[in-house]
Amino acid sequence: MSDRDVTVIDFGTGNLLNVVRALEHCGASVRVIDQATQVSTMPDRLVLPGVGAFSDAIAELNVRGFDDLIKRYVDTGRPFLGICVGAQLLFEVGEEYGVHSGLGLIPGRVQLIPAVDSVGRSLRVPHIGWSNLVRPPMRAAWDDTILAAVKPGESMYFVHSYAPVPTHEVHRLADTYYHGVRICAAVARDQIFGCQFHPERSATMGLGILSAFLKF
């Protein structure tokens, strides 16, 4: 497997250009596909960027045949990265604009960020800006993950109103705290990774995460 070959899915709602540029900056050879029929053999690595609403994203993904392709791809054990809505689509259910089935690759739901903190103060939603990553209680380290070079407390760039809530704590790779409210910032299951934040917009540390993904 080459450490430069990456296929990026374009389903019409992704932050595509920035993701492609960031991957190329990290040394990747990037191929962009907008229909599942363009894939004749499974890629070495697959990236699913996304912005906007879960409901629109999963509908477009299904129309283009990417839902089946992604499921068959992850069954091979190859590395997969979802970014923002692309990470949310990994889950069983999304609650944005109704209840919608996701890819079901990680147990859990995608839910609206709480609009109040633990003492009842109003929070601004969407959550926009730089927030620190912390390790969840069940994560003793980030070794052997895409966050291997990240130190707890380093900041990433977020833009979102909804966030995944994994059923099992073991799938939480990183959290962030928004005025004291715990939000899942990254997830992992085997070689499936998802970032609620935008690594392609998170300066040097974000590029480090993409570089780490290229090593899987």
- What are the tokens at 28? 């990747």
Q: Of 100, 160, 171, 198, which is the active-site residue?
A: 198
Q: Phi-psi category of 84—alpha, beta or left, where left has phi over 0 and alpha has psi -120 to 50? A: left
Is 200 known to be catalytic? yes
Residues 6+ apart with CB under 8 A from 82: 47, 48, 49, 50, 88, 89, 90, 192, 193, 194, 195
Angstrom CA distances, 141 to 137, 138, 177, stand at: 10, 9, 18
- What are the tokens at 1? 């497997």
Q: Of 84, 100, 127, 160, which is the active-site residue?
A: 84
Nearest Cα neighbor of 196 from 72, 90, 119 is 90
Is 84 known to be catalytic? yes
Q: Of 26, 184, 195, 200, which is the active-site residue?
A: 200
Angstrom CA distances, 104 to 17, 41, 64, 152, stand at: 27, 23, 18, 29
Active-site residue numbers? 84, 198, 200
